[in-house]
């Protein structure tokens, strides 16, 4: 198999440095691509200037057509792309297929949004100085965008940077994750075939030092990063005058109120806790369950976790695939051991299924975890969920907010007063009622507060972030 070329300002190129992409499940080589050289990184950045000029010259219908054609092509190649994504990301095949569908939807939504970039008229005659004057606003593309995307959704989270940028009329340089860059290189091929102007898109797997230079580069007018809070906030500190969008992580919570429909709550929290081995920014990590139903909820959750199949992501029956690498597995084991040593009760899992395959980690349930334990206070990004009981709804709200993070929170409740209080008082970007915080649809605003992020994704809101509002004032000369 020929190595996958990388896209540098509209040209498909090789480089002196080959990069093997290996399966997180069994270590086999899934494919090979190249790491962009310093010269290629510079040409991608320089090319984004010309690419921006080309994008600005396109009409809304042309940008929309490129994005809609891309969406259609992704859907047409659904099985092929899902197999690649599953292999390089270690994502169970059913989840990989779902991500391909979501990626196509994101491009389609962006195609629609390209046609909906409207302004407004503003009456200025609020006093005599505004007589015979009218204000008109319009959004203009901000300029070249730098996108840095993570390994856990290598297509759709990259699409949430690339598609809105194109819809807005921007050019974009994307640094995909080193662990699984192949899927976005394939999507880039589709976009070029759809008629994307030269220089409008570069996709450059590269060393971290080269990515750091791009973050410093003032030719980019916006940085969009999805990844860990520790890295994201450091990037913001060095980004200079750029606008910065950060979609970071957290230790997402879920409240199971006394009025919850228990069967549904258990079913959804199993999915929200263990899908993709917990490697989701909004994976359920902390569950606060009312004392009146806690024993039964705990029993059902433990029983449900025991039914989940952990194994080969290519097997259609697999529920939980591997962690991304051995380092993630070692960290997870260390944090669990720390919690147990601090008094936590281990209810399920707690270790790899086979010491020879440390990445295949058993779905783990802990109770009575000290809030200072790292498995509670930090982002676990692993198939681990913690149970804690509460007697009063105030306790649950306070416990959820006792975190540096605030991305989304789930609330299972049929008490409207509790729902309204949660919406008013929870310090999060989204409150998901009668479902898990892991719920996300690609046309909704998505982002966090506190250390979980800055700005909002979701195609409409990302397009807004990638544009500048400009005012025109018309005066009628007397």
Q: What is the pLDDT of residue 418?
A: 99
Q: What is the pLDDT of residues 159-191, one digit of tens each?
A: 999 999 999 999 999 999 999 999 999 999 999
Does residue 477 form part of some domain? no
Which of 113, 247, 451, 457 is catalytic? The answer is: 247
For CA atoms 170, 173, 178, 184, the dihedral sign is positive
Rounded to two decimals, the pTM is: 0.96
If you average pLDDT over every residue of the chain, what do you get? 97
Q: Which of 398, 422, 399, 421 is nearest to 410 (CA)?
A: 422
Task: Assign residue 164 the CATH number of its domain.
Answer: 3.40.605.10
Residue 434: the pLDDT is: 99
* CATH number for position 309: 3.40.309.10
Residue 198 tokens, joined? 């030269």
Q: Is 88 a catalytic residue?
A: no
How many C-beta neighbours within 10 Å does residue 1 have?
Answer: 7
Strand, helix or coil at 232? helix
Q: Are residue 381 and residue 411 in the same domain, yes or no?
A: yes
274 located within any domain: yes
Q: How many domains does the chain fold into?
A: 2
Q: Are residues 457 and 381 in the same domain?
A: no
Instruction: Report, as an integer, the average pLDDT of 105-122.
Output: 97
Q: How far apart, in whole angstroms, are the C-alpha atoms of residue 220 and residue 166?
A: 15
CA distances from 8 to 14, 74, 170, 428 (A): 10, 22, 16, 38
Q: Tell me if 448 is assigned to some domain.
A: no
pLDDT (mean) for 445-469: 98
Give yes or no: residues 408 and 460 share one domain.
no
Q: Give yes or no: 409 in active site.
A: no
- Which of the residues 170, 210, 254, 281 is marked catalytic? 281
**At residue 61, what are phi and psi to the nearest 5 degrees?**
-65, -30
Distance in angstroms (rounded) separating the CA atoms of residues 62 and 452: 35
* Same domain assignment for residues 180 and 302: no
CA–CA separation, 57 vs 356, rounded Å?
A: 56
Q: Which range marks the domain in which residue 182 is found?
A: 6-248+453-472
Could you tell me if 215 and 295 lie in one domain?
A: no
Residues 46 and 113 placed together within one structural domain of the fold: yes
**33 strand-pairing partners:** 19
Distance from C-alpha of 84 to C-alpha of 69, rounded to nearest angstrom = 21
Q: What's the pLDDT tens digit per position in 300-338?
A: 999 999 999 999 999 999 999 999 999 999 999 999 999
Split at pLDDT 50, 70, 90, the class of 478 is confident
What is the pLDDT, as a whole number, of residue 355?
Answer: 87
Within-domain flag for 294: yes
pLDDT tens digits, 45-92: 999 999 999 999 999 999 999 999 999 999 999 999 999 999 999 999
> 1 in a domain, yes or no?
no
Same domain assignment for residues 401 and 269: yes
pLDDT tens digits, one per residue of 329-367: 999 999 999 999 999 999 999 999 988 899 999 999 999
Q: pLDDT > 90: what percent of the chain?
A: 98
For residues 222 and 322, membership in a common domain is answered with no
Give residue 1's pLDDT band: very low, low, confident or very high (50, 70, 90).
confident
Tokens 């086999």, located at residue: 28
Domain membership of residue 463 (yes or no) is yes
Assess whether pLDDT exceeds 80 at residue 134. yes
Q: What is the pLDDT of residues 363-387, one digit of tens each?
A: 999 999 999 999 999 999 999 999 9
pLDDT of residue 241: 96
List of residues 6+ apart from 176 with CB closer than 8 A: 149, 154, 158, 184, 185, 203, 205
Residues 209 and 274 in one domain: no
The per-residue pLDDT for range 246-288, each reduced to its tens digit, is 999 999 999 999 999 999 999 999 999 999 999 999 999 999 9
Q: Domain check: are 258 and 240 in the same one?
A: no
- The answer to whether 457 and 447 have CB atoms below 8 angstroms apart is yes
Clarify whether residues 208 and 271 are in a common domain. no
Does 227 share its domain with 368? no
pLDDT at 283: 98
In a domain, 447, yes or no: no
In-domain check, residue 478: no
């Amino acid at each position: 198999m020929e190595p996958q070329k990388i896209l540098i300002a509209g040209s498909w190129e090789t480089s002196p440095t080959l990069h093997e992409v290996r399966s997180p499940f069994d270590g086999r080589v899934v494919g090979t691509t190249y790491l962009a050289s310093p010269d290629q990184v510079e040409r991608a950045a320089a090319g984004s200037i010309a690419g921006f000029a080309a994008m600005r010259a396109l009409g809304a219908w042309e940008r929309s057509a490129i994005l809609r054609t891309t969406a259609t092509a992704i859907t047409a190649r659904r099985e092929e792309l899902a197999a690649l994504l599953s292999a390089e990301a270690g994502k169970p095949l059913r989840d990989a297929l779902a991500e391909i569908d979501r990626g196509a939807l994101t491009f389609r939504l962006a195609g629609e949004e390209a046609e909906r970039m409207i302004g407004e008229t503003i009456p200025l005659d609020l006093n005599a100085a505004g007589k015979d004057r009218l204000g008109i606003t319009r959004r203009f593309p901000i300029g070249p965008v730098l996108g840095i995307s993570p390994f856990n959704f290598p297509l759709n989270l990259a699409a949430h940077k690339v598609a809105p940028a194109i819809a807005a009329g921007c050019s974009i340089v994307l640094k995909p994750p080193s662990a699984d860059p192949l899927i976005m290189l394939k999507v880039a091929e589709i976009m070029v075939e759809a008629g994307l102007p030269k220089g409008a898109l570069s996709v450059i797997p590269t060393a971290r030092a080269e990515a750091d230079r791009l973050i410093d580069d003032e030719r980019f007018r916006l940085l969009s990063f999805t990844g860990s809070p520790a890295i994201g906030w450091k990037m913001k500190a060095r980004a200079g005058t750029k606008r910065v969008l950060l979609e970071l992580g957290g230790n997402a919570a879920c409240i199971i109120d006394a009025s919850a429909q228990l069967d549904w709550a258990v079913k959804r929290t199993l999915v929200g806790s263990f899908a993709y081995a917990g490697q989701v920014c909004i994976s359920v990590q902390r569950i606060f369950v009312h004392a009146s139903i806690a024993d039964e909820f705990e029993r059902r959750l433990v029983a449900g976790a025991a039914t989940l199949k952990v194994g080969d992501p290519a097997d259609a029956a697999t529920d939980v695939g591997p962690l991304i690498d051995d380092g993630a597995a070692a960290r997870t084991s260390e944090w669990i051991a720390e919690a147990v040593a601090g008094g936590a009760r281990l209810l399920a899992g707690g270790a790899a299924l086979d010491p020879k395959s440390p990445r295949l980690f058993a779905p783990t349930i802990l109770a009575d975890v000290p809030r200072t334990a790292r498995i509670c206070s930090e982002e676990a990004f692993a198939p681990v969920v913690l149970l804690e009981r509460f007697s009063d709804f105030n306790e649950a709200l306070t416990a959820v907010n006792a975190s540096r993070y605030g991305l989304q929170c789930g609330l299972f409740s049929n008490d409207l007063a509790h729902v309204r209080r949660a919406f008013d008082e929870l310090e999060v970007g989204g409150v998901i009622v009668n479902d898990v915080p892991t719920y996300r649809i690609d046309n909704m605003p998505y982002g966090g507060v506190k250390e979980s992020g800055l700005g909002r994704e979701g195609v409409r809101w990302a397009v807004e972030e990638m544009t500048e509002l400009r005012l025109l004032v018309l005066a009628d000369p007397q």
